[in-house]
Structure 1
């Protein structure tokens, strides 16, 4: 490896906290990683990494060197990206919520790869809050209110939501024509992965949002199970319009209380604050925002 390759490998080790994970990301044997770091430390005359049985952490010298490496790598990528004839390349790692990926990203990926054939996309799916740097992810796509973090959030848009229920549920419990008629009704519980609490139903009334914590005979943490339980008649639910549009067309779900809809939720793309965007991340963000705008059309 030349010096730049060694720097990139060192940066990956610091961010992944693991020789093995960094070796996998870069695509080299773990033994190569060990040799490169040993030679790097010998050349610099300092110890860069503190190794334990569980994790690898930078020493004080290693932290300083890591930040210098980031600056150098960013400058090189920025210089190369300034030439229009140079297409971005390399591995791009993203983490998305599954329903968002399937509806907003997957349909247009063929066009993305046709335009950027040298980008390899590695996409993981989760609903939990991801430590982008430590888990080796370049950016994440999330909807909903974001927790406080040192990530930069780029707005992709907002998702309209509807309150809905299955015809079978409405036959058994009746059709509520206002939120004052929700007594005796129940909801499918959607449980937060972060706090473990059930999210109440929410309704926009003028400038205010009113909560309705209905009882739930079952609760789930995933959007697909949430949708399935609603189709099966286990309660009222509130979901993004794109996720239930086909059910509304088929009549397998009925939209309710349209005069007091749930609050819309923002969709955001997040990436680390401590570095410039690499060309491949930059083009992906721009493409993803365009895809979201194109596919987030009103339901007709």
Structure 2
């Protein structure tokens, strides 16, 4: 349905400010009959006279003065809304989803710099290992690991993320250190396993006699939560193939030990992506956050010599972090 109310408001405001139909037509770039028809239509719809007409000047009635104030408010709000959408300084609320372990360990530390750069934004972060539906969950940007197969989403690669086979010193002291993949099948070793939709990560690509084979990890502990697997590994409960953002710092601290390094395959197809809906491609809040992540992870924190700066309390106060159980 055609709605000319905003057009009529602009024309009425032009007439009120210029004092005449002809002057308003010149300012607005329309013909004088267009102005006359708009004012007549407006007065007919409102059921009152807005202008006292004479041959030389148009003067506002009392109702016209009240309506002009309302029109000015509405048109100013419209201009402000469009200016904010076009602005380089995004405003509003940004909803982000990220995997639990990677989110806590990497996404949350990158938020202070983002919030300081865009102080008019409020960020809501949901941490879950479930693959969220961006439309149904009202998520603007999701951080995802691995290949992106959903053609309905726009994807920006942030960085590669390799996996390392590790165990704690305490575990290796009790069970010995496996020196070949065959050692894992001897029955004396326990692997920590993914459950649910991440079960494919239990197939470890290993290079054996020059060929890549997939070892089916077996063990007595399963979970759909990456943070839990990491904690169980550090606690000495088994061997796992751990993402390097957690593995490398733990190796440096001596909490974990790398094993089977000569057999482990660096999976170059594994990466971290920021994904969002095509309709949000030009949304300033989405564009700003994705660009920030691309820059932040261009040199991944786990490969740096020093850890990222601690979260700034003032900036983090505008970030709401929710941890979802899966």
Q: TM-score range by the shorter chain?
A: 0.5 to 0.7
Pairing partner for 2:250 from 231, 247, 252: 247
Alignment check: 8 A CA contact 1:156 1:268 kept: yes
Write the distance in 2 (CA, Å) between the matches of 1:240 and 1:198: 11
Q: What secondary structure does 2:303 align onto?
A: coil
| Partner residue of 2:190 out of 179, 186, 191 | 186
Q: Distance in 2 between matches of 1:276 and 1:246?
A: 35
- The answer on whether the counterparts of 1:94 and 1:122 sit within 8 Å (CA) in structure 2 is yes
Separation of aligned partners in 2, 1:249 and 1:232:
16
Q: Secondary structure at the match of 2:233?
A: helix
Distance 2:145 2:134 in 1: 16
Contact 1:190 1:198 in 2 (8 A): yes
Q: TM-score under structure 1 normalisation?
A: 0.66
State the 4+ residue runs in structure 1 displaced beyond 4 angstroms: 79-83, 195-198, 204-208
> How far did residue 141 of structure 1 move?
0.2
Q: Is the 8 A contact 1:88 1:116 kept in 2?
A: yes
From the superposition, tell whether residues 120 and 270 of structure 1 become closer, same or farther in structure 2 (CA, over 3 Å): same
How far apart are 1:112 and its partner, in Å?
1.5
SS of residue matched to 2:297: helix
Any conservation in 2 of the 1:163–1:262 contact (CA below 8 Å)?
A: no
Query: Is the CA contact 1:201–1:237 (under 8 Å) kept in the aligned structure 2?
Result: no
Equivalent residue for 2:259? Answer: 256
Name structure 1 gaps, 5 residues minimum.
4-72
TM-score by length of 2: 0.61
Aligned to 2:174: 172
Match of 2:138 in 1: 136
Listed as ranges, the matches of 1:278-289 within 5 Å are 278-289=283-294
| Distance in structure 1 (CA, Å) of the matches to 2:145 and 2:120 | 29
Distance change (3 Å), C-alpha of 1:206 and 1:131: farther
Deviation readout 1:142-176 (Å, 9 max, x if unpaired): 11233434111111111122100122222232212
For 2:198 and 2:297, the matched residues in 1 are separated by 28
1:290 paired residue among 295, 306, 316: 295
Question: Which residue of the partner structure matches residue 228 of structure 1?
Answer: 231
- Determine if contact 1:238/1:262 at 8 Å carries over to the other structure: no
* Aligned equivalent of 1:277: 282
How does 1:1-300 map onto structure 2 within 5 Å?
Answer: 86-184=88-186, 185-191=189-195, 193-194=196-197, 199-204=202-207, 209-264=212-267, 265-298=270-303
What value does the CA root-mean-square deviation take over the aligned residues?
Answer: 2.8
SS of 1:293 mapped into structure 2 = coil
Deviations 1:258-286 (A, max 9, x none): 12224432111110124532011101000
Q: Which runs of 5+ in 2 are unaligned?
A: 4-77, 306-326
1:195/1:124 CA distance change after superposition, 3 Å: closer
Aligned residue pair count:
223
Residues 195 and 256 (structure 1 numbering): CA distance in 2 closer, same or farther, change over 3 Å? closer
What does the per-residue CA deviation read over 1:213-262, in whole Å, with 9 as the maximum and x for residues that have no partner?
A: 13211111111110122123222101111212332123221101112224
d(CA) in 1 for partners of 2:169 and 2:197?
32
State which structure, 1 or 2, has the greater radius of gyration over its C-alpha atoms.
2
Deviation at residue 80 of structure 1 after TM alignment: 5.7
